[in-house]
Amino acid sequence: MWYGNLILSLLLVISCGSRHKKETPKKPYADPSKIEELQEKFTLYKNLIKEHQDEYGFISSDCDALLWSSLVSIAGVEVRIEAAKDENGRWYRTPKKDCFSSGRSKSTISRDMLLGIYWHAYYGRKSELSKNLIDYAVENRLQMGEGDQSRIFLTPNMLGLLADINSKLGYNKYFILRGIPKDFYPNLIDFEAHLQVLYILLAGKVTGSISDAAKMRLIEHAARQESNILFQFAVRLYTDGQYEKLIDSLLDDRFFPSDRLPSTNERCDTWLWQRDFGKDWEPCEGNKEHHGGDFIFLSYLILEEFK
């Protein structure tokens, strides 16, 4: 009964949705020698990150572990992502499943963690994982965990993308959900901007194109954060395919040393792309080595365009 009401409501939303011009990826260009250099550095970082992996392959123990580990998994880093899921199909931020109960986080799961699972499922062709996730969402009225109510429910955007992924992987039970219009709010900053770009990139990969509204958000983020190479890649993907300057930035030792993983001696934040340029991009105390997952993820996306 509840699912029927959901479908009826969504049909009304879909019928009111406007059609958007579609943007497709542009043909990529970069000097072949630069691509080769990036491939070598990418391979080095993939080998070095193993020192940061736990018994499940997760690359961190913080409460964003599921997101970071899912993102690097698309690049061939071996991670047992389902270690963060319980026997009832509920997902958690880490394999220990203690972030909420220990007070380290305000919720057991959040949409950013779930977005990481989407990336992992789509790139890894994990059809059973994706199927179980959407079944769980519908059966639990889109409530994916416990804690802060603003974090644990799937939004229409998230539900629609999950339906798209399932359809691509051969599960069409909820095909009607693919028609949910996707909204892209302007003026997001910091980690929210990062998540919006991740969402648009994955949606574009799954469906083969993005709307003009989504493209406008990519242009906005790239103009606002010129140092953020992920944002620059996203906009280049749908404008001119010119990646040479982006590759030069990744080859630069300032944030990503060429012979070792980065540390707090280079920049404070573990995953640069989630922060607006500022103090998080500057060195800080502790002499802590980072896992380099941000480099691995973005380098893979760029290298993939040339295959």
Closest Cα partner for 34 from 26, 42, 22, 24?
42
On whether both 212 and 173 belong to a single domain, the answer is no
Looking at the domain assignment, is residue 16 inside a domain?
Answer: no
DSSP string, 252-263: STTTS-SSS--B
On whether both 79 and 65 belong to a single domain, the answer is yes
State the pTM of this model: 0.94
Last residue of a domain, one of 120, 148, 181: 181
- Going 81 to 86 to 92 to 94, the CA torsion angle's sign is negative
Last residue of a domain, one of 135, 150, 181: 181
DSSP letter (8 states) at residue 206: H
pLDDT digit string, tens, across residues 88-105: 999 999 999 999 999 999
Q: Which residues of 17-50 are buried (b: 16+ CB within 10 A; e: fewer)?
A: eeeeeebebeebebeeebbebbeebbebbbebbe
On whether both 49 and 187 belong to a single domain, the answer is yes
Q: Which segments within 101-256 are labelled E, that is strand?
A: 210-211
Domain interval for residue 267: 25-54+183-307
Please, which residues have CB within 8 angstroms of residue 8's CB and are 6 or more apart in sequence?
none
For residue 91, the cross-strand partners are: 85
pLDDT digit string, tens, across residues 14-29: 444 444 568 999 999 9
On whether both 291 and 217 belong to a single domain, the answer is yes
Last residue of a domain, one of 144, 162, 181: 181
Residue 7: pLDDT band (50, 70, 90) is: low
